[in-house]
Amino acid sequence: MAGTDRRRKSEAAEFCREDAPAIILVEPQLGENIGMVARAMLNCGLIDLRIVNPREGWDRAKAEKASSGATMVLDRARFYTSTKEAVADLETIYATTARVRDMVKPMVTPRQAATEAVELSPTGRKIGILFGKEAKGLTNDDVALCDAILHLPLNPAFASLNLAQAVLIIGYEWFTMNDDTEGRYVHKSRSKSARPATKEEVIGFYEHLEDALDKSGFLRIEEKRPNMVRNIRNIFARIELTWQEVQTLRGIVAFLSTGRGGGPGKGKDD
């Protein structure tokens, strides 16, 4: 889901950063899962996929199909015969694990890990995140190699995710930490008519509407009129109308109050 311009898939690597965490899959069993992980990685601007001892005969074609076009991640994937080799150049590694181990180990949420990664980014810190095989997860030996355990806060009685979903949430936290999208803004169509209305245009509409309401008898009780006018203006004041929308509302008022003759086509404003 992109809220900005649509880009082509071929440009996807441009939105991946060299300092993004590496994703390390230890003994993945199914090509589909490797493909879905590649897709989730590219969704989140991650490009460094490392695979330790995938199950013999895993299906590259199935991985590609499941990746929905994230082949650039699969193409760059590197293969290792041990976790030790796969993490050799990294400086901080996190274990993702669904089971609580009988270990004394720092537990970190994905948001905290992403915050720390961004803080350490200027130092060139190389980070990796380890995922174990689908059903069994990481071995205790692999967890012991890691600096901390990544713990996803989810329903404690129903917390199990598939591999790609865990990668997605962790990657999403990392991506949003580097993203400056405003929390809330109004999307404007790019056409000129979608420009914000000036106050003169908005007040012109108010006066048009109030004039029609006066004529129709809706505002006939004199002592209530000022308050009703303010209430009606407050309804529309919340909308941040565009120029085009002001024209639409004026057309509605004209049509309702005088029939077709007074509506669109009557003047330059339409």
Give residues 184-243 in contact with a second copy (rule: CB under 8 A): 184-189, 191, 194, 242
Q: Which two tokens stand for residue 127?
A: 């980070």
Among 7, 60, 78, 220, binds a second copy (CB under 8 A): 7
Question: Judged by CB under 8 A, does residue 9 bind a second copy?
Answer: yes
CB-based contact 74:34 (threshold 8 Å): yes
Q: What is the total count of residues that contact a second copy (CB under 8 A)?
A: 77
Question: Judged by CB under 8 A, does residue 154 bind a second copy?
Answer: yes
CA-derived radius of gyration, the chain: 29
Nearer to a second copy (CB atom), residue 29 or residue 257: 29
Q: Which two tokens stand for residue 34?
A: 């490797």
Residue found by looking up tokens 């993702």 in the block: 96
* Min dist. Cβ of residue 173 to a second copy (A): 9
Among 22, 37, 42, 93, binds a second copy (CB under 8 A): 42
Residues 85-104 touching a second copy, rule: CB under 8 A, are: 96-104
* Interacting span for a second copy (CB under 8 A) from 21-29, 76-84, 146-154, 229-237: 146-154
CB-based contact 127:90 (threshold 8 Å): yes
Nearer to a second copy (CB atom), residue 67 or residue 83: 67
Rounded Cα distance between 176 and 43, Å, is: 11
* Interacting span for a second copy (CB under 8 A) from 56-64, 76-84, 111-119, 229-237: 111-119
Q: Which two tokens stand for residue 171?
A: 């990657």
Rounded Cα distance between 21 and 113, Å, is: 11
Residue found by looking up tokens 């199990």 in the block: 160
Nearer to a second copy (CB atom), residue 25 or residue 212: 25
Bridge partners, residue 154, by sequence: none
Among 149, 163, 209, 254, binds a second copy (CB under 8 A): 149
Question: Judged by CB under 8 A, does residue 130 bind a second copy?
Answer: no
Among 179, 207, 211, 214, binds a second copy (CB under 8 A): 179
Rounded Cα distance between 53 and 32, Å, is: 16
- Provide CB contacts within 8 A for 228, sequence distance 6+: 219
Among 94, 174, 175, 205, binds a second copy (CB under 8 A): 175
The DSSP letter of residue 70 is T
* Min dist. Cβ of residue 189 to a second copy (A): 5
